Structure 1
Amino acid sequence: MNFPKVGSNIQIHSYKHNGLIHRIWEETIVLKGTSKVVIGGNDRILVKESDGRNWRTREPAICYFDSEQWFNTIGMIRSDGIYYYCNLGSPFTWDSEALKYIDYDLDIKVFPDMTFKLLDEDEYDLHRKIMNYPPAVDDILKRSVDELISWIHQRKGPFAPQFVENWYERFLQYR
């Protein structure tokens, strides 16, 4: 299987459990692309929502996708520090069209001081019932919330000191 090449520009597609498209990020530059991890960078890119709305991101961001984790992270670089938006979702897949994953509604927002807040629990409960998430997926996602919180506390992976800053420096070389 081919993986996105460093320096290439890719789209990121998130889907819902029912297979319908949820959101498309138009442009992300691949900074690392392997079978295990894809790290990308973007800045003020167009995002298309499934309901037809379009919007632009407000700041540079470093995205982290892991093929073994049921979450991905977006480290947003703001004037007052790095904020993370973490999506609970399936491990990524890659095809020639885009990097893809299933978004399972739950999110964690992490603040520059590494405090965090779990978001969208009501949306998760609603979609779990409407889309009939299998019990095994529900169990995996609950464990993944705990794993993600552990990574935040340990400053592991994308939460490690200087992770976002170092990848952002590489991103600037491709702009």
Structure 2
Amino acid sequence: MADFIDGTENVTVHGIFNWIRLLIIFSVITVIGNYIGYKHPIGEAFIGMGILSLITLAGVWMERELPFNISSILYISIIGIVIALPGMPTSEFVLYYVSKIELLSIVTVFLAYVGIGMGKSWDEFKALGWKAVVITILVIASTYYGSAIVAHIILVLTGVPAA
């Protein structure tokens, strides 16, 4: 699956077909996990994943075709925010269907995909040496603890008792 997209593809029929194929696989796995884990209706979750996939395709296309040096994640975020803004004609539809998809369902599939990608470049990772392993562990641990600290502060500020 990691061979479909290498990040450098131009917008061609073949490149778009590869993105669509990858997003369909990603969506099916996410919807199944979403149904099993959270019991959201499959049909509504598929519509939500379709919306997210279309936003992703638009963002990737914009990154490759517009003359600005901006990452696709920024385009994807802006598109998502704009179509979900209160007062936009798409807002209720988008919010309803996208809310049928739990973030953890998406993240689980995404991390599995990243793991597959890492497995394919394991030799390159090993060539970086033990320092890369230490840095990786520190980054992951720092991200986890930083998120936990921020969450704890927000919970305390909102009046949720600390455990």
Q: TM-score, normalising length from structure 2?
A: 0.29
Structure with higher helix content: 2
Structure of higher CA gyration radius: 2
Q: TM-score, normalising length from structure 1?
A: 0.28
